[in-house]
Copies of this chain bind each other. A is one copy, B any other.
Amino acid sequence: MTDKVNLQDKLALFSDHWRPRIVGELNGHQVKLAKLKGEFVWHRHEHEDEMFLVLKGTLVIRMRDRAVTLQPGEMYIVPRDTEHQPVADDEVHVLLVEPAGTLNTGDVRDALTVDRPSTI
């Protein structure tokens, strides 16, 4: 049995940046919430498309040939195997959908790598 998820209630449970929390699972995918601030590491997910839906703030997703700027209520799907760097000048809250087990830093091992994101 699953429960409904209130995104704001879940976001109130943590304050650290770049550490996604799992809030739901469907068909081998996970729905995650994260708070972002600053520049993340450049990385790619070889086999996984990754959906970003911004809930708060302004998120820039830099790619090698372009950049996308997302405001609240805007989403972008980073195609698999596309190098990208999320950048948040001010704090951003984001909902992510991606295959279960997708590593936040993709092909890069970094101090920011979260091997086992927790479920909240």
Copies in the complex: 2
The answer to whether B77 touches A6, judged by C-beta atoms less than 8 angstroms apart, is: no
Which of A26, A97, A99 is most buried by chain B, counting CB atoms within 10 A of its CB?
A26
CB contacts (< 8 Å) of A31 on chain B: these are 51, 75, 77, 97
The answer to whether A4 touches B70, judged by C-beta atoms less than 8 angstroms apart, is: yes
The answer to whether A5 touches B99, judged by C-beta atoms less than 8 angstroms apart, is: no
The answer to whether B75 touches A48, judged by C-beta atoms less than 8 angstroms apart, is: no
A77 CB to nearest chain B CB (Å): 5
- How many Å lie between the Cα of A98 and that of B73 in the bound state? 19
Known: A2-B79, A4-B68, A68-B4. A48 touches B27 (CB 8 A): yes
Interface residues of A in 25-54 (CB under 8 A from B): 25-27, 29, 31, 48-51, 53
